[in-house]
Amino acid sequence: MDLSLTPELEEFRDEVRTWLEEHLVGEFAEHRGVGTSSDDVAWDVRLAWDRELAAGGWLCMGWPEEYGGRGASIDQQLVFELEYARANPPYKATAAGQDLLGPTLLAFGSEEQKRRFLPRISAAEEFWGQGFSEPGAGSDLAAVRTKARLEDGEWVIDGQKIWMSVGARAHWMYVLARTDPDAPRHQGLSMLLVPVDQPGVDVRPIRNIEGGADFCEVFFEGARTAEDMVVGGVNNGWKVAMGALGTERGTTLLAEHLRVQREIDLAISAARSTGASRSAVMRAELASSWSAAKIMEWNGRRLIAAIKGASGGDAATQASISKVFASERHQRIGEVAIRAMGPAAEVVGPDYELNPLQAMYLHARAESIYGGTTQIQLNVLAERALGLPREPRRR
């Protein structure tokens, strides 16, 4: 993919750089790079940063203006994400609504749902949790057992969800529930929008390996939501859920290699400091890590080209390729970084304070699970890209 900029895009890039230089100051600058999708550290600062972005019109840029976006082109979004990643700001606190639910509502939601929810998401005023996974339905979402039934013009929901990011702070949850218990596994599911502040919703935080409590499990016992809070139609939840999980984030993925490159630079500094760099094996591993970051960049470029229709490739296939490579290699990069730190890698600060390399290593352990497990992604590539026989499935 050609990343050369037109004069118009160069002007837009300069606008982005200027805004970031003027606004990424004070406590925002002090918290550069802080936080991850499963870490609630510095939440208030990150939320304030999101609202600073919203005030500048930089959240949800690709959404139509009537829903709080600015109708930005893919190229403009790409330029922004690259400049944003280079600036290394705090991790967004409200990414769940912006990156997953928002695009899903744009694709499947009613006009009333779009106007009700999207402007509040783009203004960082309302937070969302994703209620898909269950103790017996992680990668196999067709096994969802949470049930919903219509009663007096409302959906009544009973069941349990787990691994919900930002769930403890969510105002609303989008919940995959079985609305027709007699239908086949992939049918009879609906995606419901459920308010959290009600007696039938019990949210319980889960402390994760990074020390954060941003994950949670949720129990629904007679929880209620209005009859029209169904996205994409009753019993059409499988299609909607697959659309949510398949949301294209190519502009964001392309910028990820910059974050990984910073981590590799930290690992190189650690290896020099501890003397680990005197080992030829360590030098080879660091060189391999650097090369992996470069491959992540090129995979991101291929994905963008597929999304724009410039390569003739399939965007979903390229997204799976990018996901498998990035998650597996990022875990190996984390292992190299820990070895580069030497014995210091086993020591944490007060209150379980982690340095960036320790946090990266621990966070990367989950990357081959969330967002589509490596095993599922390999099945997708084998069947859809290579045309291999389908794996036997239960009906």
Model pLDDT, residue 245: 64
263 and 190 together in one domain: no
197 and 274 together in one domain: no
Position 251 confidence tier, pLDDT thresholds 50, 70, 90: low
Separation of alpha carbons 349 and 247, rounded Å: 38
Q: What are phi and psi of 160, to 5 degrees?
A: -140, 140
Q: Counting every residue, how long is the chain? A: 395
pLDDT > 80? residue 360 = yes
pLDDT > 90? residue 393 = no
302 and 350 together in one domain: yes
What is the mean predicted confidence (pLDDT) over 332-361?
93
Residue 130 bridge partners (DSSP): 174
Residue 284 neighbours by CB distance under 10 Å:
11
What is the mean predicted confidence (pLDDT) over 51-74?
93
Position 71 confidence tier, pLDDT thresholds 50, 70, 90: very high
Residue 294 neighbours by CB distance under 10 Å:
12
For residues 391 and 383, the answer to whether their CB atoms sit within 8 Å is yes
The tokens of 10 are what? 């160069």
pLDDT > 90? residue 99 = no
In a domain, 392, yes or no: no
User: What CATH number did the domain enclosing 20 receive?
Assistant: 1.10.540.10
Cα distance from N-terminal residue to C-terminal residue, the chain: 41
In a domain, 2, yes or no: no
Residue type, 352: Y
pLDDT > 90? residue 15 = yes
- Residues noted as catalytic: 248
For residues 81 and 255, the answer to whether their CB atoms sit within 8 Å is yes
- Structural domain containing residue 166: 128-236
Tally of domains within the chain: 3
28 and 86 together in one domain: yes
Provide the mean pLDDT of the chain.
89
pLDDT > 70? residue 58 = yes
- What are the DSSP calls for 311-344, one per residue? SS--HHHHHHHHHHHHHHHHHHHHHHHHHHHGGG
Model pLDDT, residue 311: 65
In a domain, 68, yes or no: yes
331 and 293 together in one domain: yes
In a domain, 345, yes or no: yes
User: What CATH number did the domain enclosing 225 receive?
Assistant: 2.40.110.10
In a domain, 244, yes or no: no
Model pLDDT, residue 141: 80
What is the mean predicted confidence (pLDDT) over 137-159?
91
Model pLDDT, residue 248: 45
Place of tokens 């919703």: 201
pLDDT > 90? residue 278 = yes
219 and 298 together in one domain: no
The tokens of 74 are what? 């893919």
Position 377 confidence tier, pLDDT thresholds 50, 70, 90: confident
| Range with top average pLDDT, 47-61, 231-245, 307-321 | 47-61
Q: Which runs of consecutive H residues, i.e. helices, occur in 24-90?
A: 27-30, 43-55, 74-87
> Nearest-CA neighbor of 159 among 208, 194, 207, 113?
194
Domain end position, chosen among 70, 93, 116: 93
Cβ density class 234-259: b for 16+ within 10 Å, e for less: bbbbbebbebbebebbbbbbbbbbbb
362: phi > 0 → left, psi -120 to 50 → alpha, else beta; which?
alpha
Question: Strand locations in the chain, DSSP E?
Answer: 128-131, 147-151, 154-161, 172-178, 189-195, 201-206, 215-226, 230-231
Among residues of the chain, what percentage have pLDDT more than 90? 60
171 and 219 together in one domain: yes
In a domain, 149, yes or no: yes
175 and 267 together in one domain: no
Handedness of CA 183, 149, 121, 68 (dihedral sign): positive
Separation of alpha carbons 73 and 111, rounded Å: 22
What is the mean predicted confidence (pLDDT) over 273-296?
96
Q: What is the pLDDT of residues 100-132, one digit of tens each?
A: 899 999 999 999 999 999 999 999 999 999 999
Q: Is 178 helix (H, G, I), strand (E, B) or coil?
A: strand
354 and 284 together in one domain: yes
User: What CATH number did the domain enclosing 355 receive?
Assistant: 1.20.140.10
259 and 367 together in one domain: yes
pLDDT > 70? residue 140 = yes
Separation of alpha carbons 95 and 169, rounded Å: 13
In a domain, 165, yes or no: yes
258 and 222 together in one domain: no
In a domain, 353, yes or no: yes
232 and 272 together in one domain: no
